[in-house]
């Protein structure tokens, strides 16, 4: 693979700000070199454990400390997840991503239950992805033996801007989790969110961090913030389609072989806008009416869009062979009862402080 050894901040900012036609042409040329431009990987996201999260991510309605529409729900059963996975497969999805509102994976019955889910879905001949928070190397190995195809752990933003959106986990912990996954056969899925008040420099810095990982992530989701009432970011303005196009195109140039996924925010994009993103190098989407707790286009809308644009859904395991599922009793890695001390940074999120002060003022009136 021909990739640039190291990108500088100045180079990538200049790339991001190129005249749009030049940027699109460069990105599309790279995309066609490494991918079939008319093929898009389709994933479905299932929230297997919703709400009640102890984190304070300023964008997330699942944080227990924010008053949102999200109701806490316990861990789903294996049969419930299997039923939703089969429906997604019938609708054209090749990958199931299971998300749990956890800070980090904890050894015990709930994690064992998730491992059963992974084994069950891998036997459906679907790519299985999980996003469960931070995890140790041993936990990653146990997921690998269960047959996990990918693990998602987003960086969210740049290392500098991170302190403006999260204070309950560190950037280094995120990178450590990705490193733990890399010690297994599991592929890495890691991206971020734009529209949280970050600068272009922050967007570029995040992409450079992802591009500097060795090897580069196999999947990079690009999310547009969906402001949710009750979160500190409820008043943020929706990013324009041109910002998304520039972000996708820049990601494609820095990450030539990676699957770049259009994730949250597609309900605000027209078919024409999404077509520009596909032309710029996006070749993966989340399909289904909900992304964990935020709205997403219906699968029928996506299939109509595919038909209009002449796109076809990528089949499972086209990029990498299906992982083997090792039965629990034959596994080499077991529950160690680990209690890792993931860091808790001491900084405060100014948005959260301001929101709390506004709330107090309203109560005092």
Which residues are annotated as catalytic? 53, 57, 60, 97, 129, 189, 261
Contact 189, 260 (CB under 8 A): no
Structure tokens at 309: 């644009």
Question: Is residue 317 classed as helix, strand or coil in its secondary structure?
Answer: coil
- Name residues whose C-beta falls within 8 Å of residue 255's C-beta, 6 or more positions apart in sequence: 207, 210, 211, 216, 217, 220
Structure tokens at 337: 């009862």
What kind and span of H or E run contains 40? Answer: strand 39-49
Contact 122, 322 (CB under 8 A): yes
How many angstroms from the chain centroid is the CA of residue 163?
19
Contact 294, 279 (CB under 8 A): no
Peptide bond into 236 cis (omega under 30): no
HEC-encoded secondary structure of 60-71: CCCECCCCCCCC
Question: Is residue 272 classed as helix, strand or coil in its secondary structure?
Answer: helix
List strand residue ranges (DSSP E) for 202-279, in order: 219-224, 259-262
Q: What are φ and ψ of residue 157, in 5° steps?
A: -155, -160
């Amino acid at each position: 693979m021909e990739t640039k050894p190291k990108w500088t901040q100045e180079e990538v900012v200049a790339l991001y700000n190129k005249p749009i036609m030049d940027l699109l042409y460069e990105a599309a040329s790279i995309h066609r070199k490494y991918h079939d431009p008319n093929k898009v990987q389709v994933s479905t996201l299932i929230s297997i454990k919703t709400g009640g999260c102890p984190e304070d991510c300023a964008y997330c309605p699942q944080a227990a400390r924010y008053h949102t529409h999200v109701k806490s729900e316990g861990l789903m059963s294996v049969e419930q997840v299997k039923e939703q996975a089969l429906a997604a497969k019938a609708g054209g999805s090749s990958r199931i991503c299971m998300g749990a509102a956890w800070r980090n994976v904890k050894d015990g019955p709930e994690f064992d239950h998730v491992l059963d889910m992974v084994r069950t879905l891998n036997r459906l001949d679907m790519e299985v992805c999980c996003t469960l928070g931070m995890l140790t190397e041993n936990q990653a190995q146990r997921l690998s033996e269960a047959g996990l195809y990918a693990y998602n752990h987003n960086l969210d933003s740049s290392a500098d801007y991170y302190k403006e959106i999260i204070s309950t986990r560190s950037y280094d912990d995120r990178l450590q989790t990705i490193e733990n996954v890399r010690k297994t056969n599991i592929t890495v899925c890691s991206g971020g969110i734009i529209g949280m008040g970050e600068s272009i420099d922050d967007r570029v810095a995040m992409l450079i961090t992802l591009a500097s990982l060795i090897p580069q992530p196999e999947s990079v989701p690009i999310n547009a913030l969906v402001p949710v009432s009750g979160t500190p970011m409820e008043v943020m303005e929706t990013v324009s389609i041109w910002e998304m196009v520039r972000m996708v195109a820049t990601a494609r140039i820095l990450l030539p072989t990676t699957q770049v996924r259009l994730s949250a925010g597609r309900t605000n994009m027209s078919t024409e806008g999404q077509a520009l993103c596909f032309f710029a190098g996006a070749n993966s989407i989340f399909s289904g009416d909900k992304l964990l707790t935020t709205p997403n286009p219906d699968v029928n809308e996506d299939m109509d869009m595919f038909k209009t644009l002449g796109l076809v859904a990528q089949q499972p395991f086209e990029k990498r062979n299906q992982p083997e599922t090792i039965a629990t009793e034959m596994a080499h890695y077991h529950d160690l009862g680990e209690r890792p001390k993931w860091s808790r940074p001491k900084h405060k999120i100014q948005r959260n402080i301001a929101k709390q002060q506004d709330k107090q003022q309203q109560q005092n009136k």
